Amino acid sequence: MLAQTAQRLAGNRTIPDRMVSPADPDARPIRKGKPRNPTQSGYTLLVAEDERGSSASTG
């Protein structure tokens, strides 16, 4: 996290694969349309249903 802080302070606005949560290093930023919190961190879940039932897949 110190390296990405140094990158931000140097003016780099995009950091690929940046860590957004020290408690969960695999969490990714999620853009939402909420006015107060447009960006949150966590996981997305895609739920699809077919003729045999439903299945869940992380995305």
Q: Find the domain containing 46 and state its range.
A: 2-58
The per-residue pLDDT for range 21-59, each reduced to its tens digit, is 788 788 777 777 777 777 777 777 777 777 777 676 655
Buried b / exposed e over 16-50, threshold 16 CB at 10 Å, is eeeebeeeeeeeeeeeeeeeeeeeeeeeeeeeeee
How many domains would you assign to the chain? 1
CA gap 57, 46 in Å, rounded: 5
Residue 7: pLDDT over 80:
yes
